Structure 1
């Protein structure tokens, strides 16, 4: 959890620095029905993972799953059905190192990529304002690919769907440009099989997805 908070704090600090001096922007294009927005962001995916590793018979091995954070570029696409209601889809892919950890164990077992598209329905509170916050909720799908086993382990992760909550804010810059700060909490679980099922784990990942970027309104 401390690792997650540090990642989110770093993204938030970057956003605050970028926001300084732009809240008095003039000649900006407000959000409204029919607006299409493309956002280019830097995103940190910070899993809040938990998952005990057990034998096939259900005995506790004393180990648990650890998944590292990943910072990557992402794109967001938003369309406004009304002045206040919009739908957003995000595209990006992140790389994660998976470890088995315990009192005297810290071993890398698998390196993998995940494609985690998220689609949310949003409500924008102040679409015509220079500072325009929003909230959203939706669904996601975690598609694991490009896995590389390590240190003699064979790991397989099950792809699947989850849900997401979202909060963010757009800060007007100039014309159609704005600064975007966005945080999503994704709720997702997966089944992991190690060494053809000799070891198994039901892993709760529940990542925080924190982003800062620049958006353009069409």
Structure 2
């Protein structure tokens, strides 16, 4: 939490700074195709009244979604960016109950703001960035393998984490259009809970840590 607070303060400080007097077209909008590739695991089991296998591990499936990114340049080198998308995942067992669906149709909004530093090299601008993220879970359902156990409801906790990114923007002439390639790695957790009626049957803590890879077009204006 201390790391996230410090990152938020850094972002607010940058946003309070005046835009570079000579910077043209400070706004950039990107329309991207994005691959969301979870790389998480169960960190611990806190509650288990159904007798889960000791070797149980899980993985969320990959998903591919459109993404809108909006960026503001304070100077030629410093910008702040936020993204908008929603992604949906199932969670299946990879060991212990191999192939069993534990969570179905879990939808998350990865609300993310990053402070970015760009290195202009002619028409090519590599960049790196870092910032806070909030994984807001807006829906999830019990997986098919949990319903016969009496599970009636599944929840995933919304949590704050950190995102790091690197990428490159490539200008196409002087029209303001360009191409963009972007890679983000998120570090964020969630607590999963399965209920049988009002009874908490299973509670597990997961690290999610997805890779988010994007490519698309950009427009400065």
When the two structures are superposed, what TM-score results if normalisation uses the length of structure 1?
0.79
> Residues 125-155 of structure 1: CA distance to partner in whole angstroms, max 9, x if unpaired?
11x7211100000011111113222320432
Residue of structure 1 equivalent to 2:202 = 199
Q: Which runs of 5+ in 2 are unaligned?
A: 1-21
| Cα deviation, residue 60, structure 1 | 6.6
- Whether the 8 Å contact between 2:89 and 2:106 is mirrored in structure 1 is yes
| Cα deviation, residue 109, structure 1 | 2.1
Give the ranges of 4+ consecutive aligned residues of structure 1 lying more than 4 Å apart after TM superposition.
Answer: 57-60
Residue of structure 2 equivalent to 1:45 = 36
Cα distance change of structure 1 residues 36 and 166 upon mapping to structure 2, 3 Å threshold: same
Q: Which runs of 5+ in 1 are unaligned?
A: 1-30
Residue of structure 2 equivalent to 1:120 = 114
| Cα deviation, residue 55, structure 1 | 5.9
| Cα deviation, residue 171, structure 1 | 1.0
Residue of structure 1 equivalent to 2:53 = 61
Secondary structure of the corresponding residue to residue 105 of structure 1: coil
Matched, 1:35 2:26: yes
When the two structures are superposed, what TM-score results if normalisation uses the length of structure 2?
0.78
Q: Which of 67, 75, 78 in structure 2 is aligned with 1:82?
A: 75
Residue of structure 2 equivalent to 1:11 = none
- Whether the 8 Å contact between 1:54 and 1:61 is mirrored in structure 2 is no
CA RMSD in angstroms, aligned pairs only: 2.1
- Whether the 8 Å contact between 1:120 and 1:139 is mirrored in structure 2 is yes
Cα distance change of structure 1 residues 70 and 57 upon mapping to structure 2, 3 Å threshold: closer
